[in-house]
A and B are shown apart, each in its own frame.
Chain A
């Protein structure tokens, strides 16, 4: 079942990327579609057991809802991060106090941690350098407000953690 899901998903993404329609006649290019399908089946059979186990429909809907909540919030912080960088770069004195701090996350699942690390990198003034198995992240912070673990966790991690926990756990 998971393999079938991956085959369908892979084929859809391939189809959208390649868009195998003739630009003039608008006819479907059957040959490349068949090749795409064959490759999708091959990849699906090879890697199908890598995607997570089946979840109940209620959980999936709840997760998708929180994902929809998360995306605009994330994009808003990305925009703030950019304005922050622009301010620091064009300011004549360059107001930066950089350093590497350590923070703790309570997220357990790997995809959740990956998303958290990526979100931290794209949000104001922080860049993930390393993560340990027991849930500590090392963050390069362009304007260190506190090098205490608790305080830094509050500043950096706490805005994303609740939503990410609802999406991935």
Chain B
């Protein structure tokens, strides 16, 4: 096995470990928003590690360039998706965890809901 393959497989293993912790966060953390935090951060970095690992391990331009571009797209789209999910779940009535310390979004959410129901009429 050549050295770039070894480096690539090590990167893929690191990525898999981060993905694993992200999934563990999904199981252990109490509510949608905390779970989104774990899922977004760990799965983004884990997937990027796996893609970069694949690029290094194969070392063929066709695959490496695709993997790097996909990593860039994931870096941009994954937080945007998480943001949309968090906002959407709050507006559709998913409550914060009981032990949450503060919630500044309550008032704003009411305003958004009102503006939506206004448009519906």
Most A CB atoms within 10 A — which of B65, B99, B105?
A: B105
Name the CB-closest residue of A to B107: A102
Task: Tell whether A64 is near chain B: CB-to-CB under 8 Å.
Answer: no
Give B71 Cβ to nearest chain A Cβ, in Å: 11
Q: Are B96 and A85 in contact (CB under 8 A)?
A: no
* Chain A neighbourhood of B24, CB < 8 A: 89-90
* Chain A neighbourhood of B38, CB < 8 A: 85, 88-89
* Chain A neighbourhood of B62, CB < 8 A: 19, 21, 23
Task: Tell whether A82 is near chain B: CB-to-CB under 8 Å.
Answer: yes
Give B96 Cβ to nearest chain A Cβ, in Å: 7
The bracket for how many chain A residues form the interface is 35 or more
Task: Tell whether A34 is near chain B: CB-to-CB under 8 Å.
Answer: no
Q: Are B42 and A82 in contact (CB under 8 A)?
A: yes
Q: Are A78 and B87 in contact (CB under 8 A)?
A: no
Task: Tell whether B61 is near chain A: CB-to-CB under 8 Å.
Answer: yes
* Chain A neighbourhood of B87, CB < 8 A: 129-130
Contact with B along A19-30 (1 / 0, CB 8 A): 101010000000
Q: Known contacts A89-B29, A94-B28, A132-B108: does B79 contact A144 (CB below 8 Å)?
A: no
Chain B interface (Cβ within 8 Å of chain A)? 18, 21-22, 24-25, 28-31, 33-34, 36-38, 40-42, 44-45, 61-62, 65-66, 69, 75-76, 79-80, 82-83, 86-87, 90, 96-97, 99-105, 108, 112
**What are 13 sample pairs from A and B whose C-beta atoms fall under 8 A apart?**
A13-B69, A78-B45, A79-B45, A85-B37, A96-B29, A98-B97, A100-B100, A101-B104, A125-B37, A128-B86, A138-B104, A138-B108, A140-B37
Chain A interface (Cβ within 8 Å of chain B)? 13, 16-17, 19, 21, 23, 78-79, 81-82, 85-86, 88-90, 94, 96-102, 114, 117-119, 121-122, 125-130, 132, 138, 140, 142, 144, 147
